[in-house]
Amino acid sequence: MAERLKLTNPVHERPRGAWNSVATELFGCQTRFVQGERWTHRIIEKGDGPPLFMYHGVGGYAEPYARVLPSLARDFRVIAADAIYHGKSSKEPWDPSQRVALMAEGYVDLLHALGYEKAHFEGESMGAAMGVEIGMRFPETVDSLILNGFGRVATDRKEFKTQPFKGNLLELSQKAVLDPTYENIRNRLWWLVHDNDSIDDEAIRLRQRVWSDPEVKPALMRTFGLSGVDPRTVAPAPWSEREVREQWRVKNSLVLYGEFNPERGPDYGEYCADIIGAKFYEFKAVGHWPMWEAPDEYVEVLRSFLLNL
């Protein structure tokens, strides 16, 4: 099985009440738009070290990295980006059968627009799917890959631990996009975490604001199959285990998983880490959003991995 990552320093997670608002946490960070050769990208950035790009999950935006970005910026130039089709980044061209591939190309477009040939890449959920695509198609553009919630690989092993049911993500997303009430948005965000109390009023109202935006909502409608083709019928085929084992060329990789990740659990993540020769780390007592539920641990995990390559 995959080698387990060992932390360099002990973690003393601050109590939840010690975390400030997203705006306060991001004080001193720069939010700006970067024009690439193909797309416009919205980013939040801070730091002067080696570049570390961070990409969110489906329907998301850069702000959920607020609790970890400033601390990571002590060692890296952290660039948290809205993926194309998301937030305030470009929304065209739309091709549901190639959307993951195009988002991976979006990373390369942003990377080069910022003057880099390669960088560290961290992706959560959909962002991790982007990371797999990058690892398979653009390995020369990364110094390392951190895949938070591995995806996009059809493994030879079919049975994995069944996780506690938290509702159907697509159905929760569709309901919240069509009617972004406080309750619908809250229920969608609850899917992401183990402890529902970690989703505060600000997180709910921020997503309400984003998902109600007249520029963002049409893209969400397409993403979640509410204006045309059902995304499940045209979803790009995942890479096979054989393809990944034969073609993976990224030397430094890390797979992260929450103990209570909904749907497939940490045993899937650890199995996939073995496929790509990556290290593996499991966050205890968290769900799909460890960077939100356990931010101090998340920072230490990334530092322990990246600073010891």
pLDDT at residue 158 in the model: 82
Instruction: Name the domain count of the chain.
Output: 1
Does 21 reside within a domain? yes
- Mind listing the pLDDT tens digit for each residue in 173-213? 999 999 999 999 999 999 999 999 999 999 999 999 999 99
DSSP 3: P
Band of residue 151 on the pLDDT scale cut at 50, 70, 90: confident
pLDDT of 266 over the 80 cut: yes
- Mind listing the pLDDT tens digit for each residue in 77-130? 999 999 999 999 999 999 988 999 999 999 999 999 999 999 999 999 999 999
Does 114 reside within a domain? yes
Please answer whether residues 274 and 156 qualify as being in contact, where contact means their C-beta atoms are separated by less than 8 angstroms.
Answer: no
Long-range contacts of 211-219 (CB under 8 A, 24+ apart): 211/59, 211/176, 211/177, 211/180, 211/185, 212/180, 215/88, 215/91, 216/86, 216/87, 216/88, 217/177, 218/91, 219/85, 219/86, 219/91, 219/94
Does 174 reside within a domain? no
- Mind listing the pLDDT tens digit for each residue in 3-30? 999 999 999 999 988 999 999 999 999 9
Percent of the chain clearing pLDDT 90 (strictly above): 89
Residue 39, domain CATH:
3.40.50.1820
Residue 41 lies in domain: 16-164+235-306
pLDDT at residue 235 in the model: 73
Assigned token pair, 182? 């406080």
Q: How far apart are CA 309 and CA 136, in angstroms?
A: 21
